[in-house]
Structure 1
Amino acid sequence: MDVLALATTFFLVFDPFGNVAVFHSILSRLPEERRRRVLIREMLIALAIMMLFLFGGERILGFLQLEPATLSISGGIILFLIAMGMLFPARSLMTEASDDEPFIVPMAIPMFAGPSAIALVLLTTTKYPDQWPMIAVALIAAWAVSAAILIASPLLMRFLGAKGTRALERLMGLILILVAVQMFLDGVAVYQASLSS
């Protein structure tokens, strides 16, 4: 297993550049002295949720009676839809105005630890059940870089501007489409192999 490639995939799924503008919009309604603390808290909650699926993913799959091929195909579809949303953005329900301080929803879930990230964690732990330390390293590394980008989002917004941030997100969306298609094809191959055996 290539840890760097896996960490890069996690990073693409977390889509920190795509979340910069939305997170900035949500946090702008809070007092400036609380914004960073709320963001760090939400990122830690997201990491805890993903680690829960990392260590309990096999039991969850067993309980739901899901095969690895099913997870790979559905994970590829989810990633593809997420990537299409990055390339062709639409107005999100998550951007609705609210004066409440965000707690878990929408920042930790589903904007950071969303269905695609959880599906990727489950898929990877199913494919490499004995390599959970490497998966954890890749997950934490991608999380740390993504969290740092989001914490530095005010500086990024000023430096890149809205157009620069949008261009980076679209580039990440293109790469994520390739990852999603490969994941889908891997699932189809595993399913065909199970039928022929």
Structure 2
Amino acid sequence: MLDWQLFGEVAITLAVIMDPPGTIPIFLALTSGKTVGVRRRAAWQAVAVAFTVIVAFAIFGQSILSYLHISLPALQGAGGLLLLLVALELLTGRASEPSATADVNVALVPLGTPLLAGPGAIVATMVFSRQVDSVRTFASVALAIVAVHVMLWLSMRYSVLIIRLIKDSGVTLVTRISGLLVSAIAVQLIADAIRSFVAEP
């Protein structure tokens, strides 16, 4: 029997942070100009990468950060800088230029991490993993993480249908808007990191 309260807390928290519907315009922007097969492959690769990162940090997160002497604010700042570079590419239109390694890069960075498995999702997962003290709580947290990643995959998988409706001009517009949104997310991450560094004794 699952701990449904814990399941709900984990699922809702991660869904809000990882924002499956919000990934659709960014996914469309980053995969514009690609074939349907490439977009579908990028969708499941990005979710697989995000899931791997989330699970790894859930199990080994605190040990990894402690071993490397990395603080959570440093992780936030790094993610913010990486997203800022992505945002500049989206705003200038360079992100839509085809290249031999574009598919792999889009699935790994920035889709898989830090857009999906970003500092917020990683920290939330590490916090919830501390509540695991039995098979029941472990199953609740694990199934909640799986459920959120299934929602992410469905959002990106069926975003291909949206492309058929909005055409190339619509994708260009979505790309520019996504660039603004991603840049705002990046600045917020950097600002939060700086605030945390300043607040440290």
Q: Provide the TM-score with structure 1 as the length reference.
A: 0.66
Change (3 A) 1:50 1:191: same
Once the two structures are aligned, what percentage of the paired residues are identical? 16
Quick one: which amino acid aligns to residue 173 of structure 1?
G
Quick one: which amino acid aligns to residue 112 of structure 1?
L
Offset of 1:153 from its aligned partner? 5.0
Equivalent-residue separation in structure 1 for 2:28 and 2:188 (angstroms): 23
How big is each residue's C-alpha offset from its partner over 1:17-52, in whole Å with a ceiling of 9 and x where there is no partner? 123325427x36xxxxxx96x567535533432333
Equivalent-residue separation in structure 1 for 2:43 and 2:186 (angstroms): 29
How big is each residue's C-alpha offset from its partner over 1:60-114, in whole Å with a ceiling of 9 and x where there is no partner? 212211012211222211122222222222167862289xxx8xx4564236314
Offset of 1:125 from its aligned partner? 3.2
Equivalent residue, structure 2, for 1:188 = 194
Comparing 63-72 with 153-162, greater Cα deviation is found at 153-162
Equivalent residue, structure 2, for 1:112 = 111
Equivalent residue, structure 2, for 1:125 = 122
Structure 2 gaps, min length 5: 1-8, 130-139
Equivalent residue, structure 1, for 2:182 = 176
Structure 1 gaps, min length 5: 29-34
Quick one: which amino acid aligns to residue 83 of structure 2?
L
CA-based RMSD of the aligned residues comes to 4.0
Contact map agreement 1:87 1:169 (CA 8 A) in 2: yes
Equivalent-residue separation in structure 1 for 2:112 and 2:173 (angstroms): 23
Alignment size in residue pairs = 179
Change (3 A) 1:94 1:115: farther
1:49 is matched with which residue: 49, 52, 77?
Answer: 52
